[in-house]
């Protein structure tokens, strides 16, 4: 009888452990979803739809192209001359 | 005792497995098999039952149509069974009202779903007469409105109804909320245009050759800018060395060199912006001319600086010129370049809004065709969401455009007092433009789902084909 009790106990432990593991995996998957970087446009095969998707993404590139971040060092050089 | 405990534990364990077993049988293949077996067993008697009930319904429909005059009944009996079924389900009063319309009007109305058909036939005869002159696709869009709005709209004249029906779902909903007189006033400002190719919506015409040339010029400008940056870094290094070695003559020489390289760098940046403005198909010729004139004025200012730098000989002169150039650079960085960049970005968003509006109309046509050939694609919720997102993007970009015009005009005054207001306006434009962009991205995600649903329904439709649609400007 003791053996049977022990067997059932072990069986329950295993099922509890398996349940916990499954729950943990689900949480981890959800976390990945949140932190995942923005995916590139998925093609639908419809030319106009995909073209709109690509143009939506390219707005950021144009913004960067027209930005002045790359010219920020200009200021410090001019300051050097003001202080000569 | 021990035996009892053991048995109870076993019982708990077995009970805990029961939900799992149910879950598997619910979605598993065995469930399908038993369901199919049952369906097979009942199929003989079921088919017979369906036939009997269909005949009964047909008889019932015929009976209901007997209340109509012969010529009116003939118009309805010429429709397909599904449409007759829908019309027969209407009350006698509504059925008579509809039967008095002409054949095409009846056909269009009977294509509506039962809920909308019932709602629309509540309208007075004259209103129903006016509204049912619309095409099936437009009628379907209007019929989605609630009864009160439908009554208000059907009270407008035929031209106004036609114009209103061209609006997309979201804009239609918004406009229908207004009072009748305000609707009329708003409609006066709208212009309907027919669009076959998406390029028809461009604000200026640029040929493919011109576009290719501008692209090449843009790449060249980028390369020039990159080379100018390298040269500027070298000039800075040389200037630092001269300052550290305290060689007065070399300091002045390298100061001149650095100032000239800085001016070149700013000119290349402005030239690059000019090309992007020219290549944007949603910036009109007139608007382009104003922006280019403003950029050219900045380049001209910088060229004047260049002449002053070349003529400078003393340390004080170089120091003063460096201060003036820093001020110019600040103005360009915080106002002009930012403003020009936003003009380009907002124009791009505008182009994308127009394109998605055309896609919405094309989808409407595709879905109407699917309905005609009895292919059921239930995407009404997605279409509504798609329309809402486009309307949000449109609203945001239009607000951005208005603020942009204000900021541009203020920036031309060259008054110091206006600088802060201009900067604040640019900040607001940026926010609005980003919100419009986000709404468009969400609209595009919904669009992908709609396209997928159409594919699943195996409808032979090409949204990329040049289908002529009407859009409002």
Model confidence over B106-140: pLDDT tens digits? 998 988 888 899 999 999 888 898 899 998 888 98
Q: Is B5 an 8 Å CB contact of chain A?
A: yes
8 Å CB contact of A66 and B344: yes
User: Closest chain A residue to B244 measured between Cα atoms?
Assistant: A84
Q: Which residues contact B305 (CB under 8 A, 6 or more apart)?
A: B259, B263, B321, B324, B325, B328
Provide the H-helix boundaries in B333-379. 337-372
Range 331-350 of B in CB contact (< 8 A) with A: 332-333, 337-338, 340-341, 344-345, 348-349
Smallest CA–CA distance, residue A71 to chain B, in Å, is 8
Q: Is A22 an 8 Å CB contact of chain B?
A: no
Tens-place pLDDT, residues B353-366: 999 999 999 998 88
Point out the residue among A8, A47, A78 whose CB comes nearest to the CB of B325: A78
8 Å CB contact of A71 and B269: yes
CB contacts of A47 in chain B (<8 Å) are 464
Q: Is A53 an 8 Å CB contact of chain B?
A: yes
pTM of the model as a whole: 0.74
Point out the residue among B225, B349, B451 whose CB comes nearest to the CB of A44: B451
B454, B349 Cβ separation under 8 angstroms: no
Point out the residue among A55, A71, A81 whose CB comes nearest to the CB of B259: A81
How high does pLDDT run on average in chain B?
86
Q: Exposed, middle or buried by CB within 10 Å (0-12, 13-18, 19+), for B323? A: middle
Point out the residue among B229, B352, B447 whose CB comes nearest to the CB of A49: B447
Point out the residue among A66, A70, A84 whose CB comes nearest to the CB of B276: A66
8 Å CB contact of B6 and A63: no
The per-residue pLDDT for B47 is 52
Q: Exposed, middle or buried by CB within 10 Å (0-12, 13-18, 19+), for B165? A: buried
CB contacts of B444 in chain A (<8 Å) are 49, 52-53, 56
CB contacts of A1 in chain B (<8 Å) are 2-3, 6
User: Closest chain B residue to A47 measured between Cα atoms?
Assistant: B464
Smallest CA–CA distance, residue A37 to chain B, in Å, is 15
pLDDT of B40 strictly over 70: no
Point out the residue among B243, B325, B464 whose CB comes nearest to the CB of A84: B243
C-alpha dist (Å) from residue B69 to B89, B104, B151, B469? 18, 18, 28, 39
How many other C-beta atoms can be found within 10 angstroms of the C-beta atom of residue B293? 10
Point out the residue among A2, A4, A74 whose CB comes nearest to the CB of B329: A74
pLDDT of B201 strictly over 50: yes
Nearest to B237 by CA among B219, B249, B220, B250: B250
CA angle B381, B193, A43 (to 5 degrees): 45
Nearest to B225 by CA among B268, B274, B270: B268
Orientation angle between helical segments B380-412 and B169-176, nearest 10 degrees: 80
Q: What percent of chain A has pLDDT over 70?
A: 63
Measured distance CA(A52)–CA(A50) in Å, rounded? 5
8 Å CB contact of B447 and A67: no
Point out the residue among B235, B338, B448 whose CB comes nearest to the CB of A42: B448
B279, B206 Cβ separation under 8 angstroms: yes
8 Å CB contact of A77 and B266: no
State the count of interchain CB pairs (< 8 A) between A and B.
Answer: 135
Of residues B291 and B199, more confidence is placed in B291
Q: What is the signed CA dihedral for A20, A26, A30, A31, rounded to 10 degrees?
A: 40
Q: What percent of chain B has pLDDT over 90?
A: 51
How many other C-beta atoms can be found within 10 angstroms of the C-beta atom of residue A70? 13
Residue B54's pLDDT band, with cuts at 50, 70 and 90, is: low
Residue B283's pLDDT band, with cuts at 50, 70 and 90, is: very high
Q: Is B441 an 8 Å CB contact of chain A?
A: yes
CB contacts of A53 in chain B (<8 Å) are 444, 448
pLDDT of A24 strictly over 80: no
Tens-place pLDDT, residues A29-66: 443 333 334 445 567 888 889 999 999 999 989 999 99
Smallest CA–CA distance, residue A49 to chain B, in Å, is 8
pLDDT of A2 strictly over 60: yes
Q: Is A65 an 8 Å CB contact of chain B?
A: yes
Measured distance CA(B60)–CA(B52) in Å, rounded? 12
Phi first, then psi, for residue B365 (nearest 5°) are -65, -45
Distance of CA B248 to the CA centre of its chain: 61
CB contacts of B452 in chain A (<8 Å) are 44
Q: Is B447 an 8 Å CB contact of chain A?
A: yes
Measured distance CA(B387)–CA(B447) in Å, rounded? 10
The per-residue pLDDT for B80 is 83
B445, B354 Cβ separation under 8 angstroms: no
Measured distance CA(B150)–CA(B161) in Å, rounded? 11
Tens-place pLDDT, residues B237-268: 999 999 998 888 899 999 999 999 999 999 99
8 Å CB contact of B441 and A4: no
Q: Show the tokens assigned to B185.
A: 């006033």
**What average pLDDT does the segment B53-81 reach?**
75
């Amino acid at each position: 009888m003791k053996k049977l009790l022990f067997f059932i106990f072990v069986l329950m432990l295993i099922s509890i452990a398996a349940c916990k593991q499954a729950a943990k995996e689900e949480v981890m998957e959800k976390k990945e979803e949140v932190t995942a970087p923005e995916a590139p446009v998925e093609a639908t095969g419809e030319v106009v739809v995909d073209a709109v998707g690509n143009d939506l993404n390219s707005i950021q590139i144009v913004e960067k192209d027209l930005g002045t971040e790359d010219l920020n060092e200009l200021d410090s050089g001019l300051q050097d001359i003001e202080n000569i | 005792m021990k035996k009892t405990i053991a048995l109870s534990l076993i019982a708990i364990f077995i009970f805990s497995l029961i939900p799992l077993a149910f879950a598997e049988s619910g979605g598993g293949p065995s469930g399908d098999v038993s369901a199919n077996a049952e369906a097979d067993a009942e199929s003989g008697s079921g088919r017979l039952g369906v036939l009997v009930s269909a005949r009964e319904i047909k008889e019932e429909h015929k009976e209901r149509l007997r209340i109509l005059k012969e010529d009116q009944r003939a118009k309805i009996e010429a429709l397909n069974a599904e449409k007759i079924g829908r019309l027969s389900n209407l009350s006698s009063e509504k059925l008579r009202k509809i039967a008095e319309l002409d054949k095409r009007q009846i056909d269009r109305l009977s294509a509506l779903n039962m809920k909308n058909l019932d709602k629309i036939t509540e309208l007075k005869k004259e209103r129903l007469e006016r509204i049912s002159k619309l095409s099936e696709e437009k009628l379907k869009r209007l019929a989605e409105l609630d009864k009160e709005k439908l009554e208000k709209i059907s009270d407008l004249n035929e031209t106004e109804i036609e114009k209103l029906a061209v609006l997309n779902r979201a804009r239609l909903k918004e406009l229908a909320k207004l009072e009748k007189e305000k609707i009329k006033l708003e409609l006066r400002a709208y212009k309907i245009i027919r669009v076959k190719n998406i390029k028809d919506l461009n604000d200026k015409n640029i040929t493919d050759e011109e576009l290719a040339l501008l692209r090449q010029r843009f790449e060249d400008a980028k390369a020039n800018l990159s080379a100018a940056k390298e040269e500027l870094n070298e000039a800075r290094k040389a200037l630092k060395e001269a300052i550290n070695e305290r060689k007065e003559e070399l300091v002045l020489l390298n100061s001149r060199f650095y100032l000239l390289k800085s001016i070149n760098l700013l000119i290349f940046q402005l030239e690059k912006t000019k090309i992007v403005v020219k290549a944007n198909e949603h910036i009109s010729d007139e608007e382009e001319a104003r922006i280019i004139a403003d950029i050219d004025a900045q380049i001209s200012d910088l060229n004047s600086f260049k002449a002053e730098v070349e003529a400078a000989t003393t340390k004080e002169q170089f120091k003063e010129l460096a201060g003036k150039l820093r001020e110019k650079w600040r103005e360009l960085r915080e106002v002009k370049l930012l403003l020009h960049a936003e003009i380009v970005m907002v124009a791009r968003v505008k182009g994308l809004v127009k394109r998605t509006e055309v896609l919405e109309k094309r989808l409407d046509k595709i879905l109407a065709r699917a309905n005609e050939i009895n292919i059921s694609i239930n995407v009404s919720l997605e279409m509504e969401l798609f329309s809402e997102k486009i309307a949000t993007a449109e609203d945001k970009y239009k607000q951005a455009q208005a603020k942009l015009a204000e900021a541009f005009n203020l920036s031309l005054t060259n008054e110091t007092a206006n600088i802060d207001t201009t900067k604040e306006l640019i900040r607001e434009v940026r926010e609005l433009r980003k919100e419009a962009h986000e709404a468009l991205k969400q609209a595009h995600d919904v669009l992908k789902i709609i396209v997928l649903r159409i594919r699943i329904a195996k409808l032979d439709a090409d949204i990329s084909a040049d289908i002529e649609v009407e859009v409002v400007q």
